[in-house]
Amino acid sequence: MTVRDALNSAIDEEMSADPKVFLMGEEVGEYQGAYKITKGLLEKYGPDRVLDTPITEAGFTGIGVGAAYHGLKPIVEFMTFNFSMQAIDHIINSAAKSNYMSAGQISVPIVFRGPNGAAAGVGAQHSQCYAPWFASCPGLKVLAPYSSEDARGLMKAAIRDPDPVVFLENELLYGESFPVSAEVLDSSFCLPIGKAKIEREGKDVTITAFSKMVGYALKAAEILSKEGISAEVINLRSIRPLDRATINNSVRKTNRLVTVEEGFPQHGIGAEICASVVEDSFEYLDAAIERIAGADVPMPYAANLERLAVPQVEDIVRAAKRTCYRSSSLAATA
Amino acid sequence: MALSHLSSTRSNRLLRPLAAAASSLCRPISTSTEPLVIETSIPFTPHKCEPPSRSVETNPQELLTFFRDMATMRRMEIAADSLYKAKLIRGFCHLYDGQEAVCVGMEASINKKDCIITAYRDHCTFLGRGGTLLEIFSELMGRQGGCSKGKGGSMHFYKKESGFYGGHGIVGAQVPLGCGLAFAQKYNKDENVTFALYGDGAANQGQLFEALNISALWDLPIILVCENNHYGMGTAEWRAAKSPSYYKRGDYVPGLKVDGMDVLAVKQACKFAKEHVLKNGPIILEMDTYRYHGHSMSDPGSTYRTRDEISGVRQERDPIERVRKLVLGHDLATEKELKDIEKEIRKEVDEAIAKAKESPMPEPSELFTNVYVKGFGTESFGADRKELRATLP
């Protein structure tokens, strides 16, 4: 099942199960979704529940949050999360903080979803990863699926969740297909929020990643295994709450850590994971923690520069080897 | 309160001196619901609609309720001023005295399933929606008995069960949120409406126009109410808005300009607006009002306007004085009775403050509550995470 179909079916099933769930965003209805994630939903649920909005993020996000205040369950789509900046006051001040400020009176069961991070050749204004910004804010939950199973399970969890959820998809993953079990296809399937998944078990080095980088980390693990390094790949799934327990338990086993993300390095997800591990598992570290992240520059357009601006599989391999005190030029020893 | 009192006519007044000795001490204030028709101070100014009539139907009981409610709000805000100066209220405190007619007139025309959302000048709006003086003073002083259990403060009062959705600190944000409330009301097929209040400062916010556009497109039952007190903090309307005709700023959305110091005009306008939006989509009401205090307690309010202006409004247009004149002029109560009401109110307010002072500060564990509805056992941290951490339920 492709990630696209996984998301579409998850939204469809949740809309079918709960009449309070509705969808709004640019082109989500008649256009069938800018990336076809919401294909067929307008025909199925009608214009009262699938609403095409004008290109006014601040306005329609505020309307979505207000509807959630009143007890509906909106799914607000940002065509990409770059445009969420126009509405960020509503995400943070109107949504995330309301339950706290009202001492529990005003809960906000809303999902903000859309593609996040770099696509291909879309340039600086359309390529930023917003995980660090949203994940730093108490009151929000931030999810980032990788596989189709993740997409289905986390989307359903997000829609059912009574708190505001920022759901960070990835445009380049939409078309990727993953095997899914019957359990995943069942309409009651749901993944827990706040739990990471160990995609590949290993014993020499822990590699954390989320979204598209999970695929890269798995490829890196494959290459590393041929060189005698057994990497454990953790798919974070949930950026906030962060599954510190799974990460720390893994590092206590492997004693080495490489964090991988696509976004800007400073104050990124890797920085938080690094701090968490240093605080809770310092004595277990046999090497300095390595961070692999996007380059510390706005995203360039030219293909060769773009390639240098995002992590590649070889970057992850190189960093993992550094933690094992092996450099690429030496032959692997058993 | 044995005798029932009928609205006076000239002939009754002639009879009164005879009964005075015995009965004037215990003649109750009029609780009659006999209709009374009173003209608004000035006509409504319409934009793309037919204005409602200047003749407002009311009754003695309602007028006396208006008097009591507004006087309570006035007294409450003045008491809050003193508490702030005594450092029992901290941070921001935005007072509403002068503007009471807007929220009181609005309440008279709607029910608790209609929704109200406003910005940070929300103490009186909250009271009007059924909040208590005790909840208000407790919240202002950051105590457990506060309506937000001390965790919100002056700008964050809510009463969801009676349709009050806050209480918002970001100028203008409450308008799209209000349109969202109206969206939900329409989605649920309630026959109810939302009033989103904002000031002349917020009237220039882009998100307001974004939300208004969507509301008009989708026919949402939303009433935008611009409480034009003529100053956005220290900036007069003519310095902030190229067009300060806020009731016209909706362009394709109809509007009405209302004397916001006349509680009957406000009631009439809100009644008209509610009927309008249930059939025709959004409308804008501009309430011409005035705040006696500065923008907040840290603003003396006299550097950008003259004391003469302030006292002039107090003399000519004070909403409570207008109702007092109406009540006395229609012989619905005596001056003494009204003064007694005010004394009663003063006592109520003082008692509420005393009780609020007894309410304890929140428990330290409350630092970590209500971050989420469902925390999934995730951990949260204090300043020193090795010292203070908590599991979110």
pLDDT digits (tens, 9 = 90+) for B115-155: 999 999 999 999 999 999 999 999 999 999 999 999 999 99
What tokens appear for A214 in the block? Answer: 């999970």
What's the angle, vertex CA A43, arms to CA A27 and CA A164, rounded to 5? 55
Query: To the nearest whole percent, how much of chain B has pLDDT over 90?
Result: 91
Tell me the nearest-neighbour CA distance from A162 into chain B, angstroms. 6
Confidence (pLDDT) at B7: 43
Catalytic residue among A126, A176, A222, A227: A126
Contact A213, A258 (CB under 8 A): no
For A73, the closest chain B residue by CA position comes to B184
Mean pLDDT (whole number) for B196-202: 98
Asked if residue B384 has pLDDT above 60, the reply is yes
Confidence (pLDDT) at B15: 42
What confidence tens digit (pLDDT) does each residue in B63-112 have?
A: 999 999 999 999 999 999 999 999 999 999 999 999 999 999 999 999 99
Tell me, yes or no, if A57 is annotated catalytic.
yes
Interchain CB distance below 8 Å, A103 and B214: no
What confidence tens digit (pLDDT) does each residue in B286-330 have?
A: 999 999 999 999 999 999 999 999 999 999 999 999 999 999 999
Contact A224, A230 (CB under 8 A): yes
Query: To the nearest whole percent, how much of chain B has pLDDT over 70?
Result: 93
Rg of chain B on CA atoms, in Å: 22
Confidence (pLDDT) at B17: 47
Confidence (pLDDT) at B21: 44
- Fill in the DSSP letter of residue A330: S
Whole-angstrom Cα distance, residue B302 to residue B251?
Answer: 34
Residues 6+ apart with CB under 8 A from B82: none
Closest residue to A63, CB basis, from B150, B179, B370:
B179
Count of CB pairs separated by less than 8 Å, A with B:
160
Q: Where are the alpha helices (H) located in A148-263, listed in sequence order? A: 148-160, 182-185, 212-226, 244-254
Query: Residues A247, A250, A255, A260: is their CA dihedral positive or negative?
Result: negative
CB contact, 8 Å: A134 with chain B? no
Confidence (pLDDT) at A58: 98
Confidence (pLDDT) at A326: 84
Tell me, yes or no, if A13 is annotated catalytic.
no
Asked if residue B2 has pLDDT above 80, the reply is no
The torsion angles phi and psi of A293, rounded to 5 degrees, stand at -150, 175
Determine which of A69, A90, A281 to mutate to test the interface with B (most B C-beta atoms within 10 Å): A69
What tokens appear for B343 in the block? Answer: 């004394």
What's the angle, vertex CA B323, arms to CA B318 and CA B327, rounded to 5? 150
CB contact, 8 Å: B218 with chain A? yes
Place of tokens 């004037």: B24
Confidence (pLDDT) at B20: 44
What confidence tens digit (pLDDT) does each residue in B111-122 have?
A: 999 999 999 999
For B168, the closest chain A residue by CA position comes to A94
Peptide linkage before A33 cis (omega within 30 of 0)? no
Mean pLDDT (whole number) for B151-166: 97
**B51 exposure class (CB count in 10 Å sphere: 0-12, 13-18, 19+):** middle
* Res. B12 pLDDT band, cuts 50 70 90: very low
Q: How many residues does chain B have?
A: 393
Asked if residue B351 has pLDDT above 60, the reply is yes
Contact B60, B36 (CB under 8 A): yes
In Å, what is the CA distance from A119 to each residue of A145, A239, A269, B96?
16, 20, 19, 50
**How crowded is the C-beta side of B253, counted as CA atoms within 13 Å?**
30
Residues of A in contact with B165 (CB under 8 A): 66, 69-70, 106
Per the prediction, chain B carries an average pLDDT of 93
Which ipTM score applies to this complex?
0.94
What tokens appear for A185 in the block? Answer: 């296809």
* Res. B387 pLDDT band, cuts 50 70 90: very high
- Helices B174-187 and B206-218 pack at an angle, to 10 degrees, of 10
Tell me the nearest-neighbour CA distance from B64 into chain A, angstroms. 33
DSSP assignment of B359-390: SPPPPGGGGGTTS-S--TT-EEE-SSTTT-EE
Interchain CB distance below 8 Å, A61 and B177: no
Q: Mean pLDDT by 10-residue block, N- to C-terminus, for chain A (334 residues)?
A: 98 98 98 97 98 98 98 98 98 98 98 97 97 98 98 98 98 98 97 98 98 98 97 98 98 98 97 98 98 98 97 98 79 48
Name residue B46's beta-bridge partners. Answer: B256
Residues 6+ apart with CB under 8 A from B380: A138, B368, B371, B389, B390, B391, B392
What tokens appear for B330 in the block? Answer: 């229609």
Mean pLDDT (whole number) for B338-348: 98
Whole-angstrom Cα distance, residue A249 to residue A172?
Answer: 31
Residues 6+ apart with CB under 8 A from B352: B132, B133, B134, B136, B137
Residues 6+ apart with CB under 8 A from B131: B147, B157, B159, B164
What confidence tens digit (pLDDT) does each residue in B16-66 have?
A: 444 444 444 445 677 888 999 999 999 999 999 999 999 999 999 999 999
Whole-angstrom Cα distance, residue A261 to residue A269?
Answer: 7
Catalytic residue among A13, A14, A26, A57: A57
Laid out side by side, the sheet with B194-199 consists of B45-47, B255-259, B283-288, B222-228, B194-199, B115-117
SS3 content of chain B, % helix, strand, coil (to 5): 45, 15, 45
CB contact, 8 Å: A263 with chain B? no
Asked if residue B390 has pLDDT above 50, the reply is yes
Confidence (pLDDT) at B18: 44
The torsion angles phi and psi of B235, rounded to 5 degrees, stand at -105, 120
Confirm whether pTM is higher than 0.90. yes
Whole-angstrom Cα distance, residue B3 to residue B30?
Answer: 10
Whole-angstrom Cα distance, residue A221 to residue A213?
Answer: 12
Whole-angstrom Cα distance, residue B302 to residue A227?
Answer: 77
What tokens appear for B140 in the block? Answer: 């202002």
What is the pairing mode between strands B222-228 and B283-288? parallel
Confidence (pLDDT) at B171: 97
